[in-house]
Amino acid sequence: MTDERSEERGNTSQSSNGDYPLYANRNDTLAAASGRPLRDLSLQKTLSEDISSEDYSISAETLRAQAEIARGAGYPQLAQNLERASELTAVPNETLLEMYEMLRPGRCSFEEYQALAQRLRDEFNAAATAGFVEEAAAVYRERGLLRRELE
Amino acid sequence: MTTTATVDRSVNGDTGSRRFSILAGRDINRETYVEEWAEAGLTVADSPYDPQPSLRVVDGQVMEMDGKERADFDALDRFIADHALDLAVAEEAMATPSHQMARMLVDINVPQPTIRRLADGCTPAKLCEIVRHMNVLEMMMGLGKMRVRKTPANQAHVTNWRENPALLAADAAEAALRGFAEIETTVRVARAAPLNALAILVGSQTSRGGVLTQCAVEEAFGLRLGIKGLTSYAETLSVYGSERSFVDGDDTPWSKAFLASAYASRGIKVRFTSGTGSEALMGYAEQCSMLYLEARCLLITKGAGSQGVQNGSISCIALPEALPGGVRGVLAENLLASMLGLECASGNDALASHSALRKTAKLMLQMIPGTDFICSGYSAIPKQDNMFGGGNFDAEDFDDWTVIQRDMQVNGGIRPVREEEAIAARRQAAQALQAIYAELEFPPIDDEEVEAAALAHSSEDMPARDMVADLAAADRFLEGTANLSDVVRALHRSGFEQAAANLLEMGRQRVAGDYLQPSAIFGDGFNVISAINDNNDYTGPGTGYRLEGETWDALQRIPQQKSPRDFIDAQVGEPLPNLAEISTAKVGATANEIVVAVGPAYGTSLVKTIGELDHEEVLEALLTGVAEEEFYGRVVRVYHSADCAAIGHAGARLSGSGIAVGLQSRGTTVIQKRGLAPLNNLELFPQSPSLTLEIYQAIGRNAARYAKGLSPLPVGVKVDNGARLRLIVKTALLHRREIDDIQEKAPQELYFRWEPDV
């Protein structure tokens, strides 16, 4: 939602695309969520070492870099999504599934959403996602989408 | 209505029209058609209750949108107002007349970014107003320009009723070979999902690295599969255009947006799903048109930060198609998605019609302009194995599709493949999965199953498996610690080194996340292609995507095409030994002779007609007919022309009776009379493939009867409507061969060593 977006939109030259694709242009510095450098995620290493799921998971930093590319190319909402995603890389799998379930309609009270937002901030440093949850809670309250109101 | 009923009706002397009765039995009349009913949401593009466009922004906040005050916004309005609209451009966009924006969409001088900039500031009602000005041709122009990725592509559905893993892998391998950029599977039994996802992942990567795969299941389950590394994209994140429908779908725009972020956080590409008709089907259309509700869906999709959408009515397609303007409305929603910068997987997936004509007509609206994915799932399997409920186009239509691409020089995202390539890819995929099952101690896939999968068309061709054991293995796999690297290792240990490398590369690409950008797919060699580096720059002829070069070569080379040289093999042979040239032909002196004038290649370069009658026997038949009327037959060869009329005309000039039979090598025949203009004649037999020796004999007889001054009944030839269709290439090539033998030389008298048996 930035003013400069309208200016940049017409620019389709490569320069506005940052280092995209990162795979080709940042191969030396890219690392997985585990911290394992991409160059160490080779077939040889896969055969000889213990490779965890985190070794082929995207990192918060890479997601932020992709968000910047999206913003530069005129996709601000996608950029925001990728920024929330970068925050959510810190959230464990099961917790992530629980949080999604909580956001579905009629699942939680207003206070529970506030607690969720607080947890996102405190435990996961996820300010953008926390704000998003708070916004949802306010709308849910107005529109009867909190738990007790559906019951 | 059945044909039997039709017949009965005629027999009973019913007063109904026979023609209408036959029409009633046609496929097109197996569909349902309904009149519009706006109050129930049964109207495609324009309900009298649709809001009028308006937007009032105060201090950076939307206070009124489409005639509704902020205080009255429902959850969807709120989400759209606060997340989807570019307020920096909204005032300008809303003030630009809608018909002007419609014209910009069609105007080749207005590039995509100019329109997208304005579209980003449009409310749902404004978006609808723009496209309502457009007919389908104009929408197609707009779609070709607004599609976000320059290169069009396609997505396949691969499922089977028996949930047979070897068959899933084989079908995924074939789909990858055929060029599908994405492959989606789903389940008949939900618990099968982990192993189904694994099967299409392994199958596709064995065949062609870089195919994105997904497994459509319940949202949270789907996320779990993605986290495990079994899928690389998800597209069944459904959104709806009314609040009640959305909530009945057990989500809100915020929960869906959270889910999108959750997927992205695990490196999984996300595409939302919407489409006309779903709200009416769910009973909460709020009296609005399907298009207006879809515009809201698209803005929610955009606001949530999904890079794309599958729309085009998807599984509800039969509902808009029951209504007037339904197919136009579906095209309009594809166009709106593209205008908003969303990757568009443009429907053409669920069964939409019984009529092949209607299905194809509808398809052209997306195939000709090109969309990011022409189908949101082309059923790369037979109908009975399609667990999405049946595809509009399926495995039996592969060849139709590739021929249509070849006809139009249009890339519909499917490559023609040869049988042996397909079998090899299928076999290797099934073997690779067999090895993984053995290594990970899943219920074994035996050699018989592998071979059956290599050659199968449907799951009916597969031996039975113990599904209970498979489901138990699927549960263990999902809960266990085995991950992508275990699969890579298993493949490598079993000698599937390329497949292991491709699977690992999928993991490495997940780390880079380039395919999270709008409309991303992988080209050959894992080169990512997306709206970022393959931006659609169409500005008229000669710009944008062009099907040319290697891709055009690959798409035009269907296995069914033959070398032109192969077409006339049957007509080439040893020259007739009993046909000899004597001297230059002279005008005959006797009134009881008929000239049979043959073409330059007759009996020499070519020895059979197109109907594969021996030239020798054809001459015998003609001369026998002449002899039956007690006339003499003379044979001459015309050298200066290969044209049937010219041959007959030259023959008639030489004939003592003034009557001649002109005969081309391919068998086309004319009875000609001296004095008639070359293109006039007594009888012409253009349907050479249908001519028999009996007919040639009758032609000879009639020629003699004309010479006697009689008026014989013209020779009857049955009309074969398909002959031209089947044989036109051969006809052209035979004619060309005859032309090769043309010489600047007078007609020559031939000696045909043969006596009539009369």
Q: Which residues of A touch B517 (CB under 8 A)?
A: 20, 66, 69-70, 73, 75, 78
Q: Which residues contact B258 (CB under 8 A, 6 or more apart)?
A: A84, A99, A100, A103, A129, A132, A133
Partner residue opposite B267 with nearest CB, options A5, A43, A57: A57
The mean per-residue pLDDT over the stretch A120-147 comes to 97
ipTM comes to 0.92
A44, A49, A94, A96: best mutation site toward chain B, by most B Cβ within 10 Å? A96
How many interface pairs between A and B have CB atoms less than 8 angstroms apart?
A: 228
Catalytic residues of B: 155, 157, 184, 235, 310, 349, 376
Q: Which residues contact A12 (CB under 8 A, 6 or more apart)?
A: B113, B535, B537
Q: Which residues of A touch B257 (CB under 8 A)?
A: 81, 84, 132
What per-residue string of b and e applies to A126-144 under the rule 16 or more CB within 10 Å gives b?
A: bebbbebbbbbbebbeebe
Q: Give the 3-state secondary structure of B487-539.
A: HHHHHHHCCCHHHHHHHHHHHHHHHHCHHHCCCCEECHHHCEECCCCCECCCC
Cα separation of B77 and B697, whole Å?
A: 83
Flag whether residue A108 sits within 8 Å of chain B, measured between CB atoms.
no
Q: Which residues of B touch A79 (CB under 8 A)?
A: 305
- With tokens 């594969």, the residue in question is B612
User: Average per-residue pLDDT in chain A?
Assistant: 89
Gap from B95 CA to chain A (nearest CA, Å): 17
Q: Which residues contact B736 (CB under 8 A, 6 or more apart)?
A: none
Residue A6 scores a pLDDT above 70: no
What angle in degrees, to the nearest 10, is found between the helix axes of B136-146 and B98-106? 70
Cα separation of B738 and B752, whole Å?
A: 20
Partner residue opposite A85 with nearest CB, options B87, B265, B341: B265
Q: Give the 3-state secondary structure of B268-328.
A: CEEEEECCCCHHHHHCCCCCCCHHHHHHHHHHHHHHCCCCEEECCCHHHCHHHHCCCCHHH
- With tokens 């062009």, the residue in question is B546
Q: Which residue of A has its CA nearest to B248?
A: A105
Residue B488 scores a pLDDT above 50: yes
Query: Rounded to the nearest 5°, which phi and psi values hold at B579?
Result: -125, 110
The mean per-residue pLDDT over the stretch B17-23 comes to 97
The pLDDT, as a whole number, for residue B588 is: 96
Q: Pick the closest to residue B342 from B493, B579, B185, B519 (CA basis).
A: B519
DSSP B441: T
Q: Can you say how many angstroms the Cα of residue A1 is from the centroid of all Cα atoms in its chain?
A: 18
CA distances B627 to B300, B415, B755, B758, Å, are 87, 58, 10, 7
Flag whether residue A5 sits within 8 Å of chain B, measured between CB atoms.
yes
Structure tokens at B623: 């001369």
Contact B717, B695 (CB under 8 A): yes
Flag whether residue A31 sits within 8 Å of chain B, measured between CB atoms.
yes
Do the Cβ atoms of B116 and A9 come within 8 Å? yes
pLDDT tens-digit map of B534-577: 999 999 999 999 999 999 999 999 999 999 989 999 999 999 99
pLDDT tens-digit map of B71-84: 999 999 999 999 99
Contact B691, B625 (CB under 8 A): no
Gap from B495 CA to chain A (nearest CA, Å): 13
Where are the strands (E) in B195-248, listed by range? 212-216, 233-238
Strand partners, A68: none
The pLDDT, as a whole number, for residue B678 is: 85
Cα separation of A69 and B268, whole Å?
A: 17
Do the Cβ atoms of A58 and B513 come within 8 Å? yes
Number of H helices, E strands in chain B: 29, 20
Residue A47 scores a pLDDT above 60: yes
The pLDDT, as a whole number, for residue B13 is: 58
What angle in degrees, to the nearest 10, is found between the helix axes of B693-707 and B615-628? 40
Partner residue opposite A85 with nearest CB, options B88, B264, B510: B264
Q: Which residues of A touch B302 (CB under 8 A)?
A: 77
Beta pairing class for B669-673 and B659-663:
antiparallel
Partner residue opposite A63 with nearest CB, options B83, B485, B513: B513
Task: Give Dmax (Cα) for chain A.
Answer: 57
Do the Cβ atoms of B224 and A93 come within 8 Å? yes
A38, A40, A46, A59: best mutation site toward chain B, by most B Cβ within 10 Å? A46
Helix/strand/coil for B606: strand
Number of H helices, E strands in chain A: 9, 0
Do the Cβ atoms of A103 and B532 come within 8 Å? no
Q: Which residues of A touch B500 (CB under 8 A)?
A: 43
Gap from A19 CA to chain B (nearest CA, Å): 10
Cα separation of B68 and B79, whole Å?
A: 14
Number of CB atoms found within 10 A of residue B604's CB:
18
User: Interior CA angle at B93 toward B87 and B96, to 5°?
Assistant: 160
Residue B363 scores a pLDDT above 50: yes
The pLDDT, as a whole number, for residue B391 is: 93
Q: Which residues of B touch A89 (CB under 8 A)?
A: 265
Contact B700, B625 (CB under 8 A): yes
The mean per-residue pLDDT over the stretch B511-525 comes to 97
Under the banding of pLDDT at 50, 70 and 90, the label for residue B758 is low
The pLDDT, as a whole number, for residue B15 is: 85
Q: Which residues of A touch B79 (CB under 8 A)?
A: 139
Cα separation of B678 and B669, whole Å?
A: 13
Q: Which residues contact B559 (CB under 8 A, 6 or more apart)?
A: B416, B417, B418, B419
pLDDT tens-digit map of B167-196: 999 999 999 999 999 999 999 999 999 999
Do the Cβ atoms of B261 and A62 come within 8 Å? no
pTM (predicted TM-score): 0.93
Q: Which residue of B has its CA nearest to A58?
A: B511
A66, A107, A150: best mutation site toward chain B, by most B Cβ within 10 Å? A66
Partner residue opposite A100 with nearest CB, options B220, B243, B302: B220
User: Average per-residue pLDDT in chain B?
Assistant: 95
CA distances B709 to B588, B601, B657, B716, Å, are 18, 32, 10, 20
The pLDDT, as a whole number, for residue B6 is: 44
Cα separation of A62 and A68, whole Å?
A: 10
Cα separation of B215 and B232, whole Å?
A: 9
Q: Which residues contact B32 (CB under 8 A, 6 or more apart)?
A: B318, B322
Kindly report which listed range (A38-42, A146-150, B290-294) carries the lowest average pLDDT score: A146-150
Contact B371, B152 (CB under 8 A): yes
Give the alpha-carbon dihedral of B719, B619, B664, B694, to 10 degrees.
0
The answer for A 83-102 residues in CB contact with B (under 8 A) is: 84-89, 91, 93, 96-97, 99-101
Do the Cβ atoms of B75 and A100 come within 8 Å? no
Partner residue opposite B264 with nearest CB, options A6, A30, A82: A82
Q: Which residues contact A127 (CB under 8 A, 6 or more apart)?
A: A87, A120, A121
Continuous H helices in B629-722: 644-654, 693-707
Structure tokens at A15: 């320069």
Structure tokens at B473: 């293995």
pLDDT tens-digit map of A48-104: 998 988 999 999 999 999 999 999 999 999 999 999 999 999 999 999 999 999 999
Q: Which residues of A touch B484 (CB under 8 A)?
A: 53, 56
Cα separation of B212 and B228, whole Å?
A: 15
Contact B157, B381 (CB under 8 A): yes
Do the Cβ atoms of B257 and A88 come within 8 Å? no
Structure tokens at B308: 């794309």
Residue A149 scores a pLDDT above 60: no
Contact B243, B225 (CB under 8 A): no
Helix/strand/coil for A78: helix
Structure tokens at B408: 């139009």
The pLDDT, as a whole number, for residue B456 is: 98
Q: Which residues contact B94 (CB under 8 A, 6 or more apart)?
A: B53, B54, B55, B121, B122, B123, B126
Q: Which residues of B touch A76 (CB under 8 A)?
A: 86
Contact B335, B139 (CB under 8 A): yes
A78, A94, A120, A132: best mutation site toward chain B, by most B Cβ within 10 Å? A78
The pLDDT, as a whole number, for residue B3 is: 43
Flag whether residue A63 sits within 8 Å of chain B, measured between CB atoms.
yes
Partner residue opposite A32 with nearest CB, options B74, B250, B511: B511
Cis omega (within 30 of 0) for bond into B712? no
* B246, containing H or E segment: helix B243-248
Residue A14 scores a pLDDT above 50: no
Give the alpha-carbon dihedral of A58, B219, B375, B545, to 10 degrees.
-30
Do the Cβ atoms of A21 and B533 come within 8 Å? yes
Flag whether residue A136 sits within 8 Å of chain B, measured between CB atoms.
yes
User: Interior CA angle at B108 toward B103 and B109, to 5°?
Assistant: 95
Contact B252, B238 (CB under 8 A): no
CA distances B687 to B641, B677, B722, B735, Å, are 20, 21, 11, 14
Do the Cβ atoms of A57 and B116 come within 8 Å? no
The mean per-residue pLDDT over the stretch B295-309 comes to 98
Partner residue opposite A66 with nearest CB, options B78, B114, B513: B513
Flag whether residue A138 sits within 8 Å of chain B, measured between CB atoms.
no
The mean per-residue pLDDT over the stretch B576-602 comes to 97
Kindly report which listed range (A4-8, A120-124, B615-619, B669-673) carries the lowest average pLDDT score: A4-8
Kindly report which listed range (B8-22, B186-200, B471-485, B566-580) carries the lowest average pLDDT score: B8-22
The mean per-residue pLDDT over the stretch B399-404 comes to 98
The mean per-residue pLDDT over the stretch B632-661 comes to 97
